[in-house]
Amino acid sequence: MRAPDLSTTIAGIRMKNPLTVGSGTYGHHGVFGQFYPVETMGALVTKTIRSHRWPGNPPPRVHEVPSGLHSSVGIPCNDWDYFVAHDVPILKGLKVPIIQSVIGRTEDEYVEIVRRCSELGIFAGIELNLSCPNTKQGGVDFGYDPEASFHLVKRARDATKLPLIAKLAPDYSLLSRVAKSVEAAGADAISLVNAPRAMCIDYRTRKPIIGNRVGALSGTAIKPMAVYMVWEVYRAVRVPIFGMGGVTDYRDVIEFMAAGARAVAFGTINYVDPMALPRALEDLTTYLQENGIEDVNELVGAAHDDRDELLIPAENRLESEVPV
């Protein structure tokens, strides 16, 4: 039997297979590959960095819940000089396309970190983590605001020639509008979902459990929601999608690809079963062979058919205006 073609190109980034990792869930402080070679995956998405040192949120930062993880880490970060001296030499040694995730508290901070990362010349792409509150506009996350995300991506676009991936927040009401905005602003791909907001309260103390009080929910609990969101965004935009949210094995990879993802990321599962990604790669290969599928890209969008048009809210189907 012929080996299936697992390679894919997303936002101009050539990946030897469609599997990657969710930012912040694999490899910290330049420590990669303890369980399997990083080069096993099609691309490496690194932990979000900032342009400046940042302590992150107070502990406790993570709390396990049934079918998932409740967390609020707050993106702690060393300063830029430390990143260049410590992380960059390690990243340079990896033979895999690296997508560096970045965040800022303001547009200027985003632009600054995008520019610095571009100048290093080692990254295949930059992922904009849009989950930071836009303090100038009332503290709503950039990713929950079509206009703010448009302006931010436009400025980031002007600051780099590298492929730009906009990572969206899971917001039911504005998702398609935000997706269209970032596409119009020049994003080459969209990544979703980031973990939705959540809270856990200890019945004994009657207080929130994690230090930041408000956190996020990730893991298998959010998978059906994430699959739906990939499906919706696939219909709203033309740029390719990195899908994620509760992926644990090859079956989840197929489901996300059928919904419209061209690449799929393993997140919280890395904390539970660090070998999940290489196993899924093997199982995916077997699945493609057994089903006579020669090219993995044939899976992309397989869940869509014409009848789906009827299910999309009208405002999401229209090529409606994007904020300028």
For 261, other C-beta atoms within 10 Å of its C-beta total 31
**By CB under 6 A, is residue 104 in contact with ligand FMN?**
no
**By CB under 6 A, is residue 195 in contact with ligand FMN?**
yes
For 262, other C-beta atoms within 10 Å of its C-beta total 24
Report how far residue 285's alpha carbon sits from residue 60's, in angstroms, rounded to the nearest whole number.
40
Q: How far is the CB of 75 from ligand FMN (least distance, A)?
A: 5
Q: 3-class DSSP state for residue 14?
A: strand
**By CB under 6 A, is residue 247 in contact with ligand FMN?**
yes
| Residue 48 phi, psi dihedral angles, 5° rounding | -60, 135
String of contacts with ligand FMN for each residue 115-144, x by CB under 6 A: --------------x---------------
User: Of the listed pieces 199-207, 241-249, 282-290, 293-301, which binds ligand FMN according to CB under 6 A?
Assistant: 241-249
Applying CB under 6 A, among 10, 38, 43, 73 the residue interacting with ligand FMN is 73
DSSP 174: T
Q: How far is the CB of 145 from ligand FMN (least distance, A)?
A: 17
**By CB under 6 A, is residue 222 in contact with ligand FMN?**
yes
Concatenating the DSSP letter of every residue in 116-170 gives: HHHHH---SEEEEE--SEEGGGTTEEGGG-HHHHHHHHHHHHHH-SS-EEEEPP-
Catalytic entry in 77, 117, 132, 200: 132
**By CB under 6 A, is residue 48 in contact with ligand FMN?**
yes
Q: Is the dihedral of CA 247, 96, 25, 270 positive or negative?
A: positive
In this structure, what token pair is assigned to residue 116? 């610095």
CB nearer ligand FMN, residue 4 or residue 43: 43
Which residues bind to ligand FMN, rule: CB under 6 A?
A: 22-25, 47-48, 69, 71, 73, 75, 101, 129, 167, 193-195, 218-219, 222, 244-247, 267-268
